[in-house]
Amino acid sequence: MTNNQWDDNKLESLLHSLPKIEDNRSKEQILERLKRDQRLRKPHRMKPRKWMPILVTAAALVLLSLLVPSMLKNNEEAIEDAESVSFDAKRANDTENEAMEESADTFSVSEAKESTAMDFAAVESHVVLQDELFDVIPFQIGLEQSAYIVPITFLIPDSLIQSDFPKGNPTTVDLYNKYAAEFPEEELGFNDYHPYKGRLYEENGILHHQLPDEHNYEMSSSTVFNYFSSMRETFSGYEKLQLVDETGKPTSFPSVGDSNVMDLKRPFPYYRFTTPSGKAYLAPLGTIESVDTVTQGLSAMKNKVNGDTYESLVPDNVEYEVRVEDNIAVITFTEQLDVTALEQNAVNQMIEGFMLTAQGYDKQVRLENVVQESFGKYDLTKALPMPVGSNPTWFTP
């Protein structure tokens, strides 16, 4: 406007001459119009925050700094635990070895007398005692193996006997007639010998065997000997045996001749009997020498026998004397016996062989001049208990 200078009056006049603009819309209409305006809906672009990646990275580093030491610590603790277990086991083993070494260095006879902590777990017992019978009834029977007789005691559940004999108090003959056919002879490595042919019964306290016309008990002197030996081991509670024929008249085997009542009770010394499979039992063996007394029977146990089937239960270097005192057979070892110096099964078999041999004479046995005061379940300071059976095994019909 250089050439045309507008003064204030003209400008004011011009403005007044313009039409007056008025907006008659309500506030609600204006707000609705603004909402529909697309320009106002265009998203507002925020400026990127350049500090966020830095913060995330820092947080990750802090997290790692916390986790890694914890993981390393747990791993170290696991290694230490494993090493601790290994160390404890080694320490226990070392302690045991040290204890054994110290015991070997300091062990004396006086301490041996007090020692009762022997390893008896691997020792097999060949007898059953009265206080070991819990809800069972022992039944001893003579089983045959290779023309030899071995006494085996079957432990019959009391509940079975109560069921089979509801009236109670069955005799040895009753038990034999009921269970003899069920005893697992062959499973134990013996011959199928029982039950006896014929009929067994008791009359006036005497055992009777009614023999059939055909039987094999008198085929030879060996079969006759086995018959009487099995009868003696099976019916040890009877002192007399009477053989009768099918008519009930007394009879006998031709080799015996006499049809009178025969004595069943005849004790013999015990030896170790080994089966072909290597199983060891304790069994009596008849001798040519007289063994009428308990002193003779116990002394005969030292004798050696021919063959591999029977062996003496007394070690070669063990000597003893026998006497009877207060109705107890007392065995005094010539040299003080240290049971730890011998194989433990051999010691146990010798002690139980003494007990079984003395039992045949209705005697208990006591040992003298022994270092230890106990061995396994036996108190060596007093008379040993009398067994109620030999070579026990469970009967499960």
Q: pLDDT tens digits for 233-257?
A: 999 999 999 999 999 999 988 777 6
Contact 262, 228 (CB under 8 A): yes
In a domain, 289, yes or no: yes
pLDDT at res. 17? 55
Q: Residue 91 falls within a domain, yes or no?
A: yes
CA distance 124 to 338: 20
What's the rounded Cα separation, in Å, for the pair 87 and 79?
A: 12
Angle 137-138-139 from CA coordinates, rounded to 5° = 120
Closest listed residue to residue 375, CA positions, set 69, 86, 112, 136: 112
Check pLDDT > 60 for residue 391.
Answer: yes
List pLDDT tens digits, range 127-150. Answer: 999 999 999 999 999 999 988 999
Lowest mean pLDDT among 220-229, 284-293, 388-397: 284-293
Provide, for the chain, the percentages of residues in helix, strand and coil under a 3-state DSSP scheme, each rounded to the nearest 5.
40, 20, 40
Q: Are residues 275 and 376 in the same domain?
A: yes
Say which residues have a Cβ less than 8 Å from residue 40's Cβ, sequence separation at least 6.
34
Q: What does the pLDDT look like over 152-201, one tens digit per residue?
A: 999 999 999 999 999 989 999 999 999 999 999 999 999 999 999 999 99
Q: Please answer whether residues 217 and 195 qualify as being in contact, where contact means their C-beta atoms are separated by less than 8 angstroms.
A: no
* Shared-domain flag, residues 177 and 273: yes
Secondary structure of residue 58 in the 3-state scheme:
helix
Regarding whether 190 and 136 lie in a shared domain, the answer is yes
Tokens of 20: 């007056």
C-alpha 89/C-alpha 122 separation (Å) is: 24
Per the omega criterion (within 30 degrees of 0), is the bond before 195 cis? yes
Element (H, E) at 358: helix 344-359
Q: Which of 58-62, 217-221, 252-256, 358-362 has the lowest mean pLDDT?
A: 58-62
For residue 369, being part of any structural domain is answered with yes
What counts of helices (H) and strands (E) characterise the chain?
Answer: 10, 17
Whether residue 134 sits in one domain with residue 86: no
- Same domain flag for 93 and 177: no
Does residue 388 sit in the same domain as residue 298? yes
Looking at the fold, whether 190 and 62 belong to one and the same domain comes out as no
Token look-up 């707000």 returns 31
Burial (CB < 10 A; 0-12, 13-18, 19+), residue 392, is buried
The pLDDT assigned to 38 comes to 58
pLDDT the model gives residue 58: 63
Is 9's pLDDT higher than 80? no
Answer whether residue 81 shows pLDDT above 50: no
Kindly state whether residues 351 and 278 are assigned to the same domain: yes
Q: Is residue 378 part of a domain?
A: yes
What does each C-alpha distance from 369 to 148, 321, 381 come to in angstroms?
Answer: 35, 11, 10
Same domain, 275 and 189: yes
Same structural domain for residues 356 and 280?
Answer: yes
List of E strands, the chain: 127-128, 136-145, 148-157, 199-203, 206-210, 240-244, 262-263, 270-274, 280-284, 310-311, 320-325, 328-337, 364-370, 374-375, 378-379, 389-390, 392-394
* 258 assigned to some structural domain: no
Query: Could you tell me how far CA 78 lies from the centroid of its own chain?
Result: 36
**Cross-strand partners of 329:** 324, 365
Domain that holds residue 172: 129-195+267-394
278 shares its domain with 359? yes
Q: What is the dihedral of CA 306, 312, 316, 320, to 10 degrees?
A: -130
Indicate the residue type of 202.
E
Pick the range with the lowest mean pLDDT from 58-62, 251-255, 296-300.
Answer: 58-62
* Total number of domains constituting the chain: 2
Judged on CB neighbours under 10 Å (0-12, 13-18, 19+), 320 is: buried
- Asked whether residue 157 is domain-assigned, the answer is yes
Q: How far apart are CA 273 and CA 285, in angstroms?
A: 9
Domain annotation covers residue 158: yes
Query: Minimal CA–CA distance to 274: which of 345, 180, 178, 378?
Result: 345
> Span 82-106, mean pLDDT?
41
Q: Give the mean pLDDT of the chain.
A: 81
Instruction: Name the 3-class secondary structure at 363.
Output: coil
Q: How many CB atoms lie within 10 A of CB 142?
A: 25
- Each residue's pLDDT tens digit, 346-357: 999 999 999 999
Asked whether residue 299 is domain-assigned, the answer is yes
- For tokens 């089979």, what's the residue? 164
Three-point CA angle 365, 367, 373, nearest 5°: 125
Q: Is the pLDDT of residue 376 over 70?
A: yes
Do 102 and 142 lie in a common domain?
no
Q: Decide: 153 and 140 in contact? Cβ < 8 Å.
A: yes
